[in-house]
Amino acid sequence: MLRKDPATTLPEPALEALRAAATAGATLLTVTDPTSPPVRSGAGVAEDDRMEQDTAVRASIGRVAADGSPAHPSDGSRPAALTALRERLAVAPVERGVGTAATALSPGRVRLEVPLRPDLVGADGTVNAAVLTTTADCAIGMSVHSSVPDSRGGPTVELRLDHVGPVGAGARTLIVDGSVVHSDTRTGAGRALLTDDTGALVAHAVGTMAVDPVREGVPALWATPVPPAAGEAFDPVGLAALAGADPDGDPAELRMTVRGSMSNLRGKVHGGVLMGFAHVAQDRFQAAHGVAVRRVSCTVDYLRPVPLDAGELVCRSEFVRRGRRFWTVRTTVSRSDGKPVALAAGTGVLLAP
């Protein structure tokens, strides 16, 4: 049962969302190590409590498995698995550019945190779309694969992000709690709750991941060597700036050059980057029609992986609903040869007639 902490500042609608998530089995308590205190949800946690939690997490990271090797979260060496995850995120171009860090990990549950730099938050308190999409994708993926022993990882099949609202005044950290809903040896489904350190609910995501089966001679996800950090880091602000590119061009079309900084840990374009690209294309398309629209949701079906040598990606957008209150835009993301790689549908509510 979810109890309201006296220190909680979370508004009632957000509490209702958390209650629903708890009923469905979402992560509200994530323990990084049996000897460490639980890491509670960031919603409404007092600053002193947060400092104690961060200290506990860092202390647990300092302890490693007896043989010093990374381990799966379910094998009793969770601090080692958390350390392995942190090392991977530290060298991953996208997570490195966003500033994503793992602070808790257990089977089927993960917590990520991102410093809310001024350039990642708009004047109205909205968080950069690519920050939301990449962290949601990462959290759901890690929660699914940490629940499957010997998982070799796997690509995102589909991802939906529901935008709830802006960050709270004075927010400094985006907190992303991922939890698995179901997983087996082929697929897994998970959710992510995105809040900030003031208690504001920012977004909610659900997604489906493919689970690559274990093959002889191929190491599991948690045992693969960590590659050295190389090349430029992903720039979420630069992706958002594409909305203003070619102002005299066709607003229904947006192009993006694929760069190595967009890579995930599998050497393909990050699913969250593709979603962020579609998000920007839809915002640009709607803005060209002279009406203010607030984003409600975005859903992406991933059709095929995008290699880093793909060259250029093209978004083509069209209305599928243009009502008096809601607009829905469908966007096809294709390679330069015309082969589609993702289909996105975004819904927004009109703020003015």
pLDDT for position 28: 36
pLDDT for position 220: 64
pTM: 0.79
pLDDT for position 54: 36
pLDDT per position as a tens digit, 280-319: 999 999 999 988 999 999 999 999 999 999 999 999 999 9
Helix (H, G, I), strand (E, B) or coil at 159: strand
Residue 50 has pLDDT above 70, yes or no: no
Check whether residue 183 and residue 312 sit in a common domain.
no
Check whether residue 168 and residue 243 sit in a common domain.
no
Q: What's the gap between Cα 63 and its chain centre?
A: 27
CA distances in angstroms from 140 to 229, 255, 321, listed in the order given: 23, 28, 29
Check whether residue 267 and residue 207 sit in a common domain.
no
Check whether residue 268 and residue 175 sit in a common domain.
no
pLDDT for position 145: 93
Centre a 10 Å sphere on the Cβ of residue 223 and count the other Cβ atoms it contains. 14
Check whether residue 210 and residue 71 sit in a common domain.
yes
Instruction: Band the pLDDT of 152: cuts 50, 70, 90.
Output: confident
Provide the token pair at 31.
């323990």
CA distances in angstroms from 351 to 12, 291, 293, 348, listed in the order given: 24, 8, 6, 9
pLDDT for position 311: 95
Distance of alpha carbon 219 from alpha carbon 258, whole angstroms: 28
Between 40 and 330, residue with greater pLDDT: 330
Between 226 and 110, residue with greater pLDDT: 110
Residue 226 lies in a domain: no
Domain boundary among 215, 245, 274: 215
What integer is the mean pLDDT of 53-71?
36
Check whether residue 118 and residue 204 sit in a common domain.
yes
Instruction: Band the pLDDT of 215: cuts 50, 70, 90.
Output: confident
Check whether residue 118 and residue 162 sit in a common domain.
yes
pLDDT for position 10: 45
Distance of alpha carbon 106 from alpha carbon 78, whole angstroms: 7
Residue 197 lies in a domain: yes
Check whether residue 158 and residue 269 sit in a common domain.
no
Residue 221 lies in a domain: no
pLDDT for position 352: 74
Residue 291 lies in a domain: yes
Domain boundary among 157, 181, 215: 215
pLDDT for position 24: 44
Between 322 and 3, residue with greater pLDDT: 322
Residue 223 lies in a domain: no
Residue 257's φ and ψ, nearest 5 degrees, are -85, 130
Taken in order 140, 145, 115, 243, the sign of the CA dihedral is negative
Check whether residue 194 and residue 242 sit in a common domain.
no
Between 109 and 72, residue with greater pLDDT: 109
pLDDT for position 321: 97
CA distances in angstroms from 220 to 83, 154, 169, listed in the order given: 16, 11, 42
pLDDT for position 214: 74
Instruction: Band the pLDDT of 353: cuts 50, 70, 90.
Output: low
Least confident of 72-76, 187-191, 192-196: 72-76
CATH, residue 340 = 3.10.129.10
Check whether residue 57 and residue 184 sit in a common domain.
yes
- Domain holding 22, by residue range, is 1-215
Name 319's bridge partners.
329
Residue 230 lies in a domain: no
Domain boundary among 215, 248, 277: 215
What integer is the mean pLDDT of 85-112?
95
Check if the beta carbon of residue 30 is closer than 8 Å to that of residue 177: yes
Task: Count how many domains the chain has.
Answer: 2
How many CA atoms lie less than 13 Å away from 213 in the CB half-sphere?
A: 4
Check whether residue 186 and residue 91 sit in a common domain.
yes
pLDDT per position as a tens digit, 308-325: 999 999 999 999 999 999
Distance of alpha carbon 56 from alpha carbon 264, whole angstroms: 29
Residue 35 has pLDDT above 60, yes or no: no
Residue 222 lies in a domain: no
Check if the beta carbon of residue 71 is closer than 8 Å to that of residue 80: yes
What integer is the mean pLDDT of 59-88?
58
Check whether residue 186 and residue 89 sit in a common domain.
yes
Residue 304 lies in a domain: yes
